[in-house]
Amino acid sequence: MNRLQGKVSVITGGTSGFGFSIAELFVREGAKVIIAARRKEKGLTAIKKIKELTGAEVEFFQCDISQEDEVRDLVDKAIDIYKRVEVWVNNAGVIIRKNFEDTTEEEWDQLMDINLKGNFFCCKYIVPFMIKNRGGSIINISSNVGLLGKGNMPIYSTSKGGLVLLTRSLALRYAKHNIRVNSICPGTIITELNRDFYEKSKDSYKKMKELISAYPLGRLGAPIDVAYAALYLASNESQWVSGIALPVDGGYSAGRE
């Protein structure tokens, strides 16, 4: 039997990378999926591709999660169509690699608006419907640098660390309503968001070897690694799991030998 049979699931930032992989896997596991993202063209392309791969229909709604009114409309549309949402995946995010001293106020605001405030809006507006439905699963995609910090990415680390604490706080507050809130903390996973980090380096092969050397399991991650973690947290198999920050990082966060 499919592990998410009939569960209505909303995935923000679901047009590529982690989000697309999560959406495709959830569809294959029987979920009714809504993808939300800022770019309409990419959204329509994503749902067309998922239909080609799985034969299943997927909904797309355009939404900038940093805008409160757009998040409210997204939740209202999802409830209007399906009357409920059992799983909400906060995947939308941005990354800026820049020296701390050179980071501008605008760049700080951009990271916080999407990586933290946007997820706050999503949780704020879906929680009342999950309370009414007597339960649900919220999955926040954080990062392992939100657990450990990263000297050359302090603003990004701050935004993702804040998301981990938001996860734990909401898990405590809404446990009595059978709402589980968990986060996934991936390591380096090659997606469209970070591919240029090594491809544009002077020696891309050397940069790739350098990245891999940090991971005890000897490889970088793939989007499907994050998707399977999300599947577990979305399914009934994790019904006694809430408030965790799950590293999916090839052993990186375990420390150094």
CA separation for the pair 254, 231 (Å, rounded): 23
Q: Residue 210 in contact with residue 169, Cβ under 8 Å?
A: no
In degrees, to the nearest 5, what angle opens at C-alpha 251 toward C-alphas 16 and 153? Answer: 60
- Is position 156 annotated as part of the catalytic site? yes
Phi/psi class of residue 243: alpha, beta or left (left: φ > 0; alpha: ψ in -120 to 50)? left
Catalytic residue among 82, 125, 156, 232: 156
Strand partners, 141: 184
- Give residue 112's Cα distance to chain centre: 15
CA separation for the pair 74, 68 (Å, rounded): 10
Nearest to 93 by CA among 11, 25, 154: 11
The residues, ordered by sequence, that sit 6+ positions from 41 with a Cβ below 8 Å of its Cβ are none
Strand partners, 35: 11, 60
CA separation for the pair 198, 220 (Å, rounded): 12
Q: Residue 239 in contact with residue 211, Cβ under 8 Å?
A: no
Strand partners, 37: 62
Phi/psi class of residue 27: alpha, beta or left (left: φ > 0; alpha: ψ in -120 to 50)? alpha
Positions marked catalytic: 156
